[in-house]
Structure formats: structure tokens, C-alpha cells
Structure 1
Amino acid sequence: MTLQFFGHPFSSYTQKLLIALWADETPFDYRHVEQPGVMNELRRHSPFGLFPLILDGDRAVFETSCIIEHLQAHHPGTHQWIPHGEAGRRARFLDRFFDLYVMNQMNVAVANALRPPDCKDPYGVSKGIERLTTAYDWLEANLGDGPWAVGDQFTIADCAAAPSLFYADWVQEIGPARPKLAAYRARLLAHPIVARAVDEGRKYRHYFPLGAPDRD
């Protein structure tokens, strides 16, 4: 049975999962959440109405890292997203690092921009930016010398890193003081599957509440 995939092309977490699906050429039906009735259907399967989500038969799987692990176990392709041994542990760690300390901290400023004027949280935004720059500095110091997060193999960590660094740089530029991290972001955006994900979301850039920069 073909997977049902619920998502939106401009969503960072949707892009994370699409990178894995497209790279493995996994067949799926794309349920775009802006299409009529799709969000109502999504809410029947997700307690919070959050996406991305996949339906695999009668089983709903959400949270992107869990979905990628599910795909590797039940719909394996050519990529081993979570390698064996120490490389796998490193990939899992960096996957969580990019989600929690890059993607989620970037989203603090984005969410604040969407709030009504009387509900703004400048302190929360400043702390989010502070944590984001701390994450940048840690990555600059701790990324390895290989092309990808865990060396030569493109893993779940890179699926997380691509949309995280893509959007985070719009909120707080990585800048020339972090050349290793900036070069890693550039390699990710040059990857054909990542470039496809970016291009699919391009027509929605006017959704970005802080104003999408005229680059990337």
C-alpha cells in the first residue's frame, strides 16, 4: 500500500522528510495540507494537527526522526539514514541537535512575528537568537572534515541540517566568522535532492513573516 504523506513544501520539517523520501525514491501520495479537506483528515490522525505525518496502512507516524527511522525499517531504500555503531549514534545526536538547537530556536523568531502586536515576546526572541548563535559556534567547532555531518555518508543528520541551516541563516546569518558551517550549508543546498526541496517551496516565500532574503 502506498504511503500517504501529509505536509507543505515550505515547511522545514516537511523538507527534512521529503529529502529522505526522494533520495530513496520511496513512492508516496503527497497530501498537500492547503488542499481542501486535507487538514481535517490530518487532525483525525495527529492529536495536535501537526505535519509532516505519514500513514502507512492504518498506522499513523509523526515526528520526522521517528518517520525516517520507520522508513528505514519498513520501506528501506539505498540510503542507510541511521548507520550502525558509533556513526549511527553520532547521526542520531546531530539530528536532534539540528532540530532542537537550530530549527526550533530559529522558529522562536518566526512564531513571534506571527503573533498579534500585544502578544509579542522580545525577550523570548533574544534568548532564541542567543541559543541559535551558540549552536552555530558549537557546530563550527565540532563538525568533522568530511562533506556531511557524519563523514562521507549522507544521513538523517543531514536531512535535519539542510532545512535547519537554510532557514536559520535567514533569521541570523551564519556569517564569515564560521567558514566551516557556512561551507557545510552551501554543500547541503547544492545537493540535488535538497535543491529540489528548496525549489518546491520557492513560490511560498512570501509566507515567511520576517521577509525572505533575496538569496538562496
Structure 2
Amino acid sequence: MLALYGHPFSSYTWKALIPLYANATPFEFREVGPDHPDHAAFVATAHPAGKFPVLDDDGTVVIEATAIIEYFAVRHPGPAPLIPPDPAGAITTRMLDRVFDNYVMANMQRVVNAYIANGDNPDPAEVAAGKEGLLRVYRWLEGWLGENALPPHVSLVTCAAAPSLFYADWVERIPADCPRLAALRAELLALPPVARCVDDARPYRPWFPPGTPDRD
């Protein structure tokens, strides 16, 4: 039995959950939090920085969400085409995975971290830099979407894009001049595996440091 360690409000946990839901892969979710110190202890040992998600497949431990999805594609494949079989398509998929993680998720997290450090007076330079980074990557993605097609859902790109765009739009709204990207976000949130993650995370919304918008 697969066991996935993570938290329902964690964007990277969503990233690992989406392919499991999409392929109806049997697994046990082990929440990491104060109520489950043994789960936290396992993650602290399994990951060099004590971060989740962590996958345990009968003793085979895989860390980092992207690697976990690659593992699913090889060891637990299903109807969802997580990694395109075509090598060129696989390269594009992995490239976009890095874009969403390193430039959408990371810039969103930069703003969140500023609020975690000082909720009443977050560092304005950090907030501005994170938001500027988001606007830059939004416009890059808008241009890319205008000239290229995404791999079919549910792929590694879906898994990276859904949580990053969900939370990033809470920090800095996708602007009106990025209609393709806004449409992609809406499309992703309508996918059943993604909608399940959104719904399971609703009880934790008050935890979002910059404040949760009254939408989604």
C-alpha cells in the first residue's frame, strides 16, 4: 500500500495527491501535524529538510513532489498520462513543471513568507518582489499558451499548475491581459482531482497568512 505524508492545505501535497486521485490509485494519506507526531517524525527522517510530501511505497521512499509523480508514472501508471510518452512532449512537460514550481509557486511563497515573518508589517520589499515576479511569469505563461498546447490532463504540468495558480492568484490576481492563463486556472479548478484538493483544504483557509479572499 502506498502511503503519502503531507497536509491538506499544502500546495506541494496537492501536487502529489492530484495524480493519485486522477488514476484512482489506492493509497493511505498520513497527515503531518500536531495530532500525528509519528508522521512528522517519519518525514523529519525521510527528507533532508524535513519537508513533505513524502511517499512510502512498502519501504521505497520517494521525496519531492515532482519525483513522486515521476515515480507514479513508472511504478503506478493509470489512465492519466502523467508524463507524455513522446520524448519531445516529455521535455516540454518537465520544463513547464519547473516554471510553475520555481517561478509561480516560489514567488507566491515569497509573499507568504513575508507575512509569516511579520503578519502585521510584512517586509514591503519582499512582498513587492514576489508580486512583481508573479506578474512577470503570468505574462510569460500567457505568451506561451498563445503559441503552444499543454499536454492532456492529468499530466505533471496539471499537477504543478493547479496548486501554484490556485494560491498565487490569492496573492496577486492574474491580470486582465492574461485571459488564457485565467482560463487555465478555472479549467484546472474544475477538474475533479483538483476540486477534491480544494474542498479538503477549506477548513484550513484561515491559516493563509496574507488572508484568504472570499472566492474559489
TM range, smaller chain: over 0.9
C-alpha contact 1:102 1:135 (8 A) present in aligned 2: yes
Unpaired segments ≥5 residues, structure 1: none
Tell me, in whole angstroms, the C-alpha distance in 2 between the residues paired with 1:33 and 1:171: 25
Alignment map for 1:113-192 (pairs within 5 Å): 113-116=115-118, 120-144=122-146, 149-150=150-151, 152-192=152-192
Tell me, in whole angstroms, the C-alpha distance in 2 between the residues paired with 1:9 and 1:195: 12
Task: Give the aligned partner of residue 54 of structure 1.
Answer: 55
Question: 1:140: how far off?
Answer: 0.8
C-alpha contact 1:16 1:160 (8 A) present in aligned 2: yes
2:80 is paired with a residue whose SS is: coil
Identity, % of aligned pairs?
Answer: 46
Q: Which amino acid aligns with 1:180?
A: R
1:114 is paired with a residue whose SS is: helix
Tell me, in whole angstroms, the C-alpha distance in 2 between the residues paired with 1:207 and 1:81: 31
C-alpha contact 1:94 1:149 (8 A) present in aligned 2: no
1:90-115 deviation line (CA, Å, top 9, x unaligned): 11111110011001110001011011
Q: Which amino acid aligns with 1:106?
A: M
Question: 1:44: how far off?
Answer: 1.8
Tell me, in whole angstroms, the C-alpha distance in 2 between the residues paired with 1:117 and 1:206: 13
C-alpha contact 1:6 1:52 (8 A) present in aligned 2: yes
Task: Give the aligned partner of residue 76 of structure 2.
Answer: 75
C-alpha contact 1:53 1:60 (8 A) present in aligned 2: yes
1:143 is paired with a residue whose SS is: helix
Task: Give the aligned partner of residue 96 of structure 2.
Answer: 94
Q: Which amino acid aligns with 2:163?
A: P
Tell me, in whole angstroms, the C-alpha distance in 2 between the residues paired with 1:207 and 1:157: 26
Q: Which amino acid aligns with 2:162?
A: A
Tell me, in whole angstroms, the C-alpha distance in 2 between the residues paired with 1:114 and 1:188: 28
Q: Which amino acid aligns with 1:22?
A: Y
Question: 1:145: how far off?
Answer: 7.1
Task: Give the aligned partner of residue 33 of structure 1.
Answer: 32
Question: 1:57: how far off?
Answer: 2.1
Number of aligned pairs? 213
1:29 is paired with a residue whose SS is: strand
User: CA-atom RMSD, angstroms?
Assistant: 1.8
Q: Which amino acid aligns with 1:171?
A: V
Unpaired segments ≥5 residues, structure 2: none
Question: 1:144: how far off?
Answer: 4.8
Tell me, in whole angstroms, the C-alpha distance in 1 between the residues paired with 2:121 and 2:72: 40
2:175 is paired with a residue whose SS is: coil
Tell me, in whole angstroms, the C-alpha distance in 2 between the residues paired with 1:90 and 1:77: 21
Change (3 A) 1:65 1:210: same
2:173 is paired with a residue whose SS is: coil
Change (3 A) 1:117 1:95: closer
C-alpha contact 2:170 2:212 (8 A) present in aligned 1: yes
